[in-house]
């Protein structure tokens, strides 16, 4: 996010869990936060690279960023847009 | 395009098929789609209240079994009953086929409480008229 710090409401640690559980857990947490709230998702399932943009596009939520860290874990920030 | 529902018919008693069918349902529910699962034939055995079928009884090769057991222990796999609860918590519906129950001599009260209703095919097709279908 261009060096700007993202304010996170909650984190979903889905490391070690297979598709589609990372997305399922993300949805559950996003349902709980207020509009414009942000959920951080940690996952080592490479499926999230395409699944997350597809899920956000289909459900109307916003993928703020999706990056892989040094340990091979994907870190994504998703903002709740659909109320 | 409208958000079409998903109608999944679970027929096989193989754990891998059942498990993957449930994964498809969870993905669909996460996309905000309605999901109705119809259990028929051998898949019904997993819904039994007492002595439900489990993947351990599967006729798997030793090598496959070891891989699965290892990953279950690592937390990669989720037990069947937990999957059912996840499906229900996200709004999925579980139906059972009256025809199969008659053939296999299974009564409604032998099945777990998570089952929404037992239906005939006419009801099923009427309720899922606009849905996308998957048969496993």
- The residue-averaged pLDDT of B47-76 equals 72
Quote ipTM for the complex. 0.77
CATH number of the domain to which A22 belongs = 3.30.110.40
Q: Are A59 and B29 in contact (CB < 8 Å)? A: no
- Residue B74 touches partner A, C-beta closer than 8 Å: yes
Catalytic residue positions of A? 19
- B112 has a pLDDT exceeding 90: yes
**Domain residue extents for chain B:** 6-135
- How far CA A54 is from CA of A6, A17, A41, B31, in Å, comes to 22, 19, 15, 10
CB atoms B27 and A24 under 8 Å? yes
At B113, list the tokens: 């409480």
Q: What's the pLDDT tens digit per position in A17-70?
A: 888 989 999 999 999 999 999 999 999 998 999 999 999 999 999 999 999 999
Residue of B nearest to A58 (CA): B31
Q: How confident is the model at residue B36 (pLDDT cuts 50, 70, 90)?
A: very high
Spell out a b/e string for A36-74, using b for 16 or more CB atoms within 10 Å of the CB, else e.
ebbbbbbbbbeebeebbeebbeebebebeebeeeeeeeb
| Interchain contact, B76 vs A18, CB within 8 Å | yes
Q: In what order do the strands lie in the sheet with B6-10?
A: B117-119, B93-97, B35-39, B6-10, B132-135
Euclidean distance between CA atoms A59 and A6, whole angstroms: 21
CATH topology of domain B6-135: Hypothetical Protein Ychn; Chain: A, (3.40.1260)
Which tokens belong to B50?
Answer: 């007492």
Contact (CB<8Å) B76/A16: yes
- Determine, yes or no, domain membership for A69: yes
Find out whether A42 and B18 touch, Cβ atoms under 8 Å.
no
Domain that holds residue A25: 10-79
Residue B27 has its nearest CB partner, among A17, A23, A28, at A23
B78 contacts chain A (CB < 8 A): yes
Query: Please, which pLDDT band fits residue A4 given cuts at 50, 70 and 90?
Result: low
Rounded Cα–Cα distance for residues A72 and A42 (Å): 10
What is the rounded average pLDDT of the residues B102-118? 94
Does some domain include residue A2?
no
Q: How many CB atoms lie within 10 A of CB B25?
A: 25
Q: Please report whether residue A68 resides in a domain.
A: yes
pLDDT in tens, B118-134: 999 999 999 999 999 99
- How far is the C-alpha of B13 from the C-alpha of B96, rounded, in Å? 14
* % of chain B beyond a pLDDT of 70: 88
Closest chain A C-alpha to B87 CA, distance in angstroms: 10
Count the domains in chain A.
1
Residue B75 has pLDDT above 80, yes or no: no
> What pLDDT band is residue B77 in, cutting at 50, 70 and 90?
low
| B75 touches A: beta carbon within 8 Å | yes
Taking the CA of residue B31 and the nearest CA in chain A, the distance in Å comes to 6
């Amino acid at each position: 996010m261009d060096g700007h710090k993202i304010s996170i409401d909650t984190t979903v640690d889905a490391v070690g869990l297979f598709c589609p559980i990372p997305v399922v857990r993300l949805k559950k947490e996003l349902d709980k936060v207020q509009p414009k709230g942000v959920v951080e998702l940690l996952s080592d399932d490479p499926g999230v690279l395409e699944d997350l943009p597809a899920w956000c596009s289909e459900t109307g939520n916003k993928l703020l960023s999706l990056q892989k860290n040094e340990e091979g874990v994907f870190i994504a920030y998703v903002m709740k847009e659909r109320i | 395009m409208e958000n079409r529902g998903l109608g999944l018919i679970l027929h096989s008693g193989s754990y891998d098929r059942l498990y993957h069918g449930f994964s498809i349902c969870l993905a669909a529910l996460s996309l905000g789609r309605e999901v109705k699962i119809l259990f028929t034939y051998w898949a019904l055995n997993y819904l039994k209240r007492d002595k439900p079928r489990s993947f351990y009884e599967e006729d798997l090769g030793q090598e496959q079994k070891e891989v699965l057991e290892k990953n279950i222990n690592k937390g990669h796999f989720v037990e069947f009953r937990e999957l059912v609860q996840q499906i229900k918590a996200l709004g999925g519906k579980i139906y059972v086929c009256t025809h199969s129950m008659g053939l296999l001599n299974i009564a409604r009260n032998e099945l777990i409480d998570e089952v929404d209703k037992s239906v005939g095919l006419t009801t099923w097709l009427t309720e899922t008229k606009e849905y996308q279908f998957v048969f496993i």
